[in-house]
Structure 1
Amino acid sequence: MTLLDRITVNPLQCGGRPCIRGMRIRVSDVLDLLGAGVEVDEILSDYPDLEREDIHAALLWASRYVNHPRLSA
């Protein structure tokens, strides 16, 4: 399993937004917490189903997402 395999998208879950390993924890939730300055250990404590690699996967997904070229007509 690669880090990005931890990110799942299901149109029937969380409005099709990317989630962590099929759970209802959205990538954006993790990123918002990190952006607010919440430490990784605190996030892991608050979300016991999360693993440290899930947070790394969320960051990698975000990096790839914002670096994706978009073409406009």
Structure 2
Amino acid sequence: MNYRERIVADHQIMLGKPVIKGTRITVELLLRKMSEGATIPDLLKMYPHLQEADVLAALMYASDLMANEEMIDLSAA
């Protein structure tokens, strides 16, 4: 799956935060709900216009973002 087909960032929508294409549902919101214990079926029930692939795309987007993040150790400075 290519999350770029489902996740977009536009400065005119939610201040440029990544959202599910065609919605104002942010990747952040989906991750937060999942961190609070929501499952994919829960999210689909809460947001009926979402598809499972949208939620999986959000997870893939977040994992790619983390995989490319560089940590800077400020204590060594």
Normalising to structure 2: TM-score of the pair?
0.83
CA pair 70-2 structure 1, distance change in 2 beyond 3 A: same
Match of 2:25 in 1: 25
Q: 4+ residue stretches of structure 1 with deviation over 3 A? A: 69-72
Percent identical:
31
Normalising to structure 1: TM-score of the pair?
0.87
Match of 1:54 in 2: 54
Where in structure 1 are there 5+ consecutive unaligned residues? none
Separation in structure 1 between the aligned mates of residue 69 and residue 28 of structure 2, nearest angstrom: 20
Aligned residues: 72
Deviation at residue 71 of structure 1 after TM alignment: 8.1
CA RMSD, aligned part only?
1.8
Match of 1:35 in 2: 35
Separation in structure 2 between the aligned mates of residue 34 and residue 26 of structure 1, nearest angstrom: 13
Larger Rg: 2
